[in-house]
Amino acid sequence: MSLITTDGLTMRQGGKTVLSNVDFSISKGEIVTILGPNGSGKSTLLRLLIGALRPSAGKVVRQKGLKIGYVPQKLHIDPTLPLAVSRFLQLPGRVAPAAAKAALQRVGATGFEDQQLASLSGGQFQRVLLARALLSQPDILVLDEATQGLDQPGSAAFYSLIEELRQELGCAVLMVSHELHVVMAASDRVLCLNGHVCCQGAPEHVASAPEYRALFGTGTHGALALYRHEHDHDHDHDGHHHHDGCDHDHAHTHDHSHQEGSV
Ligand SMILES: Nc1ncnc2c1ncn2[C@@H]1O[C@H](COP(=O)(O)OP(=O)(O)OP(=O)(O)O)[C@@H](O)[C@H]1O
């Protein structure tokens, strides 16, 4: 049973097609990573999936009563605005102090309640955002480049925390990440997005495909090559790819007209 399923999801914004015909689903406990270059529609897809945006065409079906914990890519807090962590955790709705305390503890932010949001480091702020996402006891955690701006150890620690939480809570995880080693090591499935779905599948399946190995070798270097490969390929005017190391034929029939700048 899928937690979220999309069918022909299409989004036009500012006169251009940002997402075209995306078919996607995520199941209970699954960890799925979305990869794609800047502006490829990753954040837009997440916002459609959580219901913060309405699609121009196609549909999103969420399991009845689905609880989503969302960690946005950016959250601008005016540094002159006094806002303590405990108040911030109350913003979506009333939360018992004990629940807030437990959530902070769980993400390694014990005792942060009285700190000002503006005084937190990038890594601490991400943990507070994660604590807020956990308050609803989500069935799915949705993370939009949650480790952006963190150093390597900070980001590795954040991902191992996510993995622990997934095991504890049994929640699914859907994340956007540019950290390919994480993607290859930790995801059940990878979705390569570039306004349309270029390719999706298990990372090891993709990485062990003979075409992929022949072209790019193995390891994280190969992962990077996989990423480049999927986004550097040419499309002819009928929207066909000229080469592909993945075996997802459905990805090749989409209309790529948005890439030519038309609507
Ligand atoms: N509200 C909006 N109005 C008009 N265009 C928008 C809006 N939101 C996003 N876009 C456009 O949609 C495209 C996809 O944006 P999106 O933020 O989803 O990409 P992304 O893959 O998350 O990028 P990045 O890796 O840079 O975060 C971009 O070209 C962006 O300019």
In tens digits, the chain (263 residues) has pLDDT values of 799 999 999 999 999 999 999 999 999 999 999 888 788 899 999 999 999 999 999 999 999 999 999 998 877 778 788 899 999 998 877 888 899 999 999 999 998 999 999 899 888 898 999 999 999 899 999 999 888 878 888 888 888 899 999 999 999 999 998 776 777 778 898 888 889 887 778 887 656 655 434 433 455 444 444 444 444 444 433 344 433 334 333 333 333 333 333 22
β partners of residue 24: 6
Of all protein residues, the one whose alpha carbon is nearest to atom 30 of ligand 1 is: 39
To the nearest 10°, the Cα dihedral for 133, 146, 197, 209?
-120
Render pLDDT for 126-142 as a digit per residue (tens, 0 to 9).
Answer: 899 999 999 989 999 99
For the Cβ of 80 lying below 6 angstroms from any atom of ligand 1, the answer is no
Is the shortest distance between the CB of 222 and ligand 1 below 6 Å? no
How big is the CA angle at 232 (ends 226 and 234), to the nearest 5 degrees?
130
15 lines ligand 1 (CB under 6 A): no
With beta carbons less than 8 A apart as the criterion, state whether 263 and 16 touch.
yes
On the CB side of 5, CA atoms within 13 Å amount to 7
Q: Where are the beta strands (DSSP E) in 145-248?
A: 172-176, 189-193, 197-201
> 62-101, pLDDT tens digit by residue?
999 999 999 988 777 787 888 999 999 988 778 888 999 9
pLDDT score at 244:
38
- The secondary element (H helix, E strand) that includes residue 71 is strand 68-71
Q: What is the pLDDT of residue 253?
A: 34
Q: What is the pTM of this model?
A: 0.80
Cα 69 to middle of ligand 1, angstroms: 21
Residue among 11, 44, 198 whose CB has most ligand 1 atoms within 8 A, to mutate: 44
- State the pLDDT at residue 252: 35
pLDDT at residue 37 in the model:
79
Fold of 1-67+174-249: Rossmann fold (3.40.50)
Is the distance from CB of 140 to CB of 26 less than 8 angstroms?
A: yes
At which residue do the structure tokens 């622990």 appear? 164
Q: How many CB atoms lie within 10 A of CB 259?
A: 15
Q: Which residues contact 10 (CB under 8 A, 6 or more apart)?
A: 17, 19, 20, 21, 22, 55, 56, 57, 58
The structural domains of the chain, with segments of one domain joined by +, span 1-67+174-249
Q: Residue 145 C-alpha to ligand 1 middle, in angstroms?
A: 14
- Candidates 221, 217, 198; CA nearest to 208 is 217
Ligand 1 and 41: CB distance under 6 A: yes
177: Cβ below 6 Å to ligand 1?
no
- Look at residues 18, 32, 19 and name the one whose alpha carbon lies nearest to residue 182: 32
Q: In this predicted structure, what is the pLDDT of residue 102?
A: 94
